[in-house]
Amino acid sequence: MEPNHKNLSTDLQHIKLIQWEDFEHDLARLSSLSSALNESKNKKKILQDKLESLIQANSESLGRLNELEEMHQKLEMKKMMMESMAIRSRLVKEDVSKQEEQLSGAVQSLLVAGGALSESSRLLSEEEGYVRLRNLQKMLRVRQQYMASQISMLYPVKILVGPAQEQELEAYPAGSVAGTSAGLKPINQGSLTIQGLHLTMLSFRKVSFFTDKKEFQRSATALGYVAHAVSLMASYLQVPLRYPLRLGGSHSYIIDKAPSIESTSSDVSSSALSFTNAKHMEFPLFLEGQDTTRAAYAVFLLNKDLEQLLNFIGAKSLGPRHVLANLRELSRIIQSSAFIDNLI
């Protein structure tokens, strides 16, 4: 009981005694403070409501701003797509216009060719037109004969009489086709030369450290002569060579356009695509610094060009190992009278 008594005495000490004449004044002041407090609470509530509404409006505004930003980004992306499509459309339009110009040019060429063909047909339908055509063909072949004779004078292929040696891979061996189908007698002795040079093919098969370098140079020079002669013959006969030549004298090359990728016969489109995308392979017509297999293959392709020219004039090749013999036979047949008489 003693502690409670102490607390009570302490509380009594803190009690403020108000005089009666001040009571009304203090009561009025307390009432005024109470009303001010209530008013402050009301204002606080009003401000709180306004702040909440402002916060909500601000959040909605931020959401709309985000949506607007997304829409703006989408609009920019669409603008970029439209610009890209416009550029693509312009390029396509230019391509179409170019193709139209090419087609119009092709149509004009076809119209001109059609007119020329109809005129040629009309001339040929007449009796004089056929005679004129024969005369033109004869004049053309006479001109081809003259140009072939010039090539023979420039690059003469002659027979060197003497002991048989292994050059030009046994040119005109006994029993060769040259003595039967081409009308030539077989040559058992001697060898062929072009501009006085032998085309010794032994070096293309057997290369050693002791091989004479001058022999390489002579063979390369001879092959350069043959390549130039073949190129001139093809141009005068108007025959596109199956294996084109890149002339460079004693450092000439022959080009193989065959596709390097084999394709199955079941896929025709892929075969055509691989042929279109095939790389052109060049093979050297000389041995210096080259692989012997590639050089030998180049000589083989050169002989194939000669065989193509021989077949074009209705003759046969003397064999795959007779380059100079085939060149000599080609020149002989073109310069013969049968070349003019056998007009197609």
Radius of gyration for the alpha carbons in the chain, expressed in angstroms and rounded: 52
Q: Where are the domains of the chain?
A: 76-125, 140-341
Q: Which two tokens stand for residue 14?
A: 């803190």
Q: Which fold has domain 140-341?
A: Actin-binding Protein, T-fimbrin; domain 1 (1.10.418)
| pLDDT tens, per residue, the chain with 344 residues | 455 656 656 665 666 666 666 677 777 777 888 888 888 888 888 888 888 888 888 888 888 888 899 999 999 999 999 999 999 998 999 999 889 988 988 898 888 888 888 877 776 666 666 777 788 888 888 898 899 899 989 888 888 765 544 344 333 333 333 333 444 444 433 488 888 888 776 556 555 544 567 877 888 888 999 999 999 999 999 999 999 999 998 899 999 987 554 444 444 444 444 444 556 889 998 888 778 888 889 999 999 999 999 999 888 888 877 889 999 999 999 988 888 877 65
Q: Give backbone dihedrals phi and psi of 122, rounded to 5 degrees, phi first.
A: -65, -40
Contact 196, 155 (CB under 8 A): no
Q: In what order do the strands lie in the sheet with 197-198?
A: 157-160, 191-194, 197-198
pTM: 0.53
CB 327 within 8 A of CB 304: no
Residues 6+ apart with CB under 8 A from 169: 201, 321, 322, 323
Residue with tokens 């050089």: 295
Bridge-based pairing state of the strands 191-194 and 281-284? unpaired
Angle at the Cα of 297 from the Cα atoms of 210 and 174, rounded to 5 degrees: 80
